[in-house]
Structure 1
Amino acid sequence: MSGSDSVLSWLQGWYAGQCDGDWEHEWGVKIETLDNPGWTITIDLEGTSLEEREYPEQTIRRGPHDWIFARVVDRQFGGSCGPGNLTELLTMFRSWAEGH
């Protein structure tokens, strides 16, 4: 299993673990594309064990298409990244969520 498969499998499991018959009707996970180009993710933390956890804002700039920005605001993990950095951004969320 590649790193991208494992982080995606982990995210699927994390999402399923939040679904309790109510949470999924109001909250969730969104992954969308940007036009610069890149990706953006929004992961709702409301009602999860992560909703009160601090997350240090992170900015990584390696090049015009190799970058990541991530932070938690209003009980949402939000991030955006270059077109080839989605797996890295999701891995950052996973590491934080698992407490590493």
Structure 2
Amino acid sequence: MVRLTAWVSGTVQGVGFRAYVRSRGRRLGLVGSATNLADGRVEVIVEGPRADCQTLLEMLRAGHTPGRTTQVTYSWSPPSGDLLNFVRK
């Protein structure tokens, strides 16, 4: 189990991006959140098996999402265990 935190830049607010991430995350059995940030990015935090988190990360990086993704930065860390569902904020 791991925690993935990704920051997605581009046209990712107001285009259904967070709903897309939530849907894909749930299908993979992940828990987490997708949150709009004041600077126009979306922060994605997910926890689950590393392979499933990696799959979601590749979906974010591939650019086949609503809107237009220009950059994805990310970090891996141990899971905190405080996430119980997948929410968009």
Common fold by TM > 0.5: no
Q: Higher strand fraction: Structure 1 or Structure 2?
A: 2
What TM-score comes out, normalization by structure 1 length?
Answer: 0.39
1 or 2 for the larger relative contact order (CA 8 Å, sep ≥6)?
2
Q: Higher helix fraction: Structure 1 or Structure 2?
A: 1
Whose radius of gyration is greater, 1 or 2? 1
